[in-house]
Structure 1
Amino acid sequence: MSSSAAGRVPQGERSQAMRRRLLDATVRCLVEYGWSGTSTVLVSERAGVSRGAQLHHFPTKNHLVLAAVEHLWESRAEAHRAAFAALPDGPDKVHRVVHLLGEHFSGDLYTAALELWVAARSDAALHEAVVRLEQRIGQAAHRRTVEALGVDESVPGVRELVQATLDLVRGLGLANTLTDDSARRARILDRWARTLDQALRTATP
């Protein structure tokens, strides 16, 4: 086998690498320019990918942005799944879970998702796709939070406490898109972690 053949990257791997570059570039454009300022032309330029190749993978802006948000969610979710799994049992476990969720629902992921949600309000086709994506994301986040906290949702009130936690961190993530809200967010999460820990103890038979 020639050295050039031995060093050749398989077509499938090249295609996947190109797809990842497009998705990463889309997220960066959404964060920097918002939905209206993000175009398929700009994304292909930022990714260093030809327009033809980009259109082969993602024929429309809607396809591209939906895939980018899902790609970012999955990569961040995997990192947080590992972080949850590494949490030691102990009196501060709830505190750590709440703060990890606060990190998860902030930053580039949340900014990109918000741009997508706002655009979906006035685009019927996009709205339907975003609702389906949001359902998958919401269900997965809820399931991982239950597992991380080690709670039983069959106990009355526990499901609502988990969902309230997720709603809280989403709201704090929204506030953080306008200003650096990290100090206030940390104080609120500290307080909620104490409240949640007590409430879960009370709810447990």
Structure 2
Amino acid sequence: MTTQTTPARVPQGERTRAMRLRLMEATVDSLVELGWAGTTTTVVSRRAGVSRGAQLHHFPSKQDLVVAAVEHLTDRRRDEMRRSADQLPADGRTRGVLEILAAQFVSPVFFAALELWVAARTDAELRELVGPLERRIGRETHTYAVELLGIDEARGDNRQLVQATLDLVRGLGLAASLSDDTVRRATVLDSWATVLDHELEMS
């Protein structure tokens, strides 16, 4: 006589979190592949394997869904960035930091966010949602760049150096959205690391 064991039931809270994560990842994938116009709630729910009813229950509109997706996955990328920073060598640290920062701007999350920012320019409702998120992400990225570079912003032109660094890597990310810019990006980052090291030593 065999004894059948009943599979352990996954708690509702875990199932809900897993479903929301699938929806958000599917949203980012769709934004990258199809753009803002091609990303619809129907497309996302199908990609995520989630019913339309369940998707609308958690995210009543496309705007709610895409903003939540970009915010969540940006947070996850930040956690990955922290883990990468733990592996930085003492020698060539500045160049390593630039690589970590630049990687954030050539990631699927950045390209998804880029679709969001462009759409928000002419969509007042979306702009109301995107504005606070963009400002929060900007502040957090700036703070983390200061931490990674290990500098005192109050000294000299250090604050401007950090902002220039972020503007630089963001611009490189925009260039990479249209073509593979890997070689030129590496050369630019090499040169900027030298400039940063020199300026930080002088401050």
Bin for the TM-score computed over the shorter chain:
over 0.9
CA distance in 2, matches of 1:20, 1:87: 30
CA contact (8 A) 1:29 1:38 kept: yes
- Aligned residue for 2:25? 24
**Aligned-partner residue type, residue 53 of structure 2:** G
Structure 2: any 5+ residue segments left out of the alignment?
none
- Aligned residue for 1:191? 191
CA contact (8 A) 1:62 1:126 kept: yes
CA distance in 1, matches of 2:130, 2:159: 24
- Are residue 43 (structure 1) and residue 44 (structure 2) matched? yes
- Are residue 97 (structure 1) and residue 97 (structure 2) matched? yes
CA distance in 1, matches of 2:110, 2:172: 10
- Aligned residue for 2:177? 177
CA distance in 1, matches of 2:38, 2:94: 40
CA distance in 1, matches of 2:58, 2:87: 36
Secondary structure of 2:141's aligned partner: helix
The more displaced of 144-153 and 13-22 is: 144-153
- Aligned residue for 2:111? 111
CA distance in 2, matches of 1:104, 1:32: 18
CA distance in 1, matches of 2:134, 2:127: 10
Cα drift, residue 89 of structure 1: 2.7
CA distance in 2, matches of 1:166, 1:19: 31
Secondary structure of 1:171's aligned partner: helix
Structure 1: any 5+ residue segments left out of the alignment?
none
**Aligned-partner residue type, residue 12 of structure 2:** Q
**Aligned-partner residue type, residue 78 of structure 1:** D
Cα drift, residue 86 of structure 1: 3.0
1:121-143: CA deviations, max 9, x gaps? 11112112211001111111111
Matched residues, number: 200
The more displaced of 24-33 and 122-131 is: 122-131
CA distance in 2, matches of 1:114, 1:150: 29
CA distance in 2, matches of 1:17, 1:36: 26
- Aligned residue for 1:85? 86
1:156-200: CA deviations, max 9, x gaps? 210110111011000100000000111111111111111111111
| Identity, % of aligned positions | 56
CA contact (8 A) 1:110 1:174 kept: no
CA distance in 2, matches of 1:173, 1:44: 29
CA distance in 2, matches of 1:160, 1:129: 28
CA distance in 2, matches of 1:129, 1:26: 16
Secondary structure of 2:21's aligned partner: helix
1:17-67: CA deviations, max 9, x gaps? 000000000011001100000100000000000000000110000000001
- Aligned residue for 1:151? 151
Secondary structure of 1:7's aligned partner: coil
Secondary structure of 1:83's aligned partner: helix
Cα drift, residue 99 of structure 1: 1.2
- Are residue 71 (structure 1) and residue 66 (structure 2) matched? no
CA distance in 1, matches of 2:144, 2:89: 16
Cα drift, residue 72 of structure 1: 1.5
Cα drift, residue 3 of structure 1: 4.1
Secondary structure of 2:151's aligned partner: coil
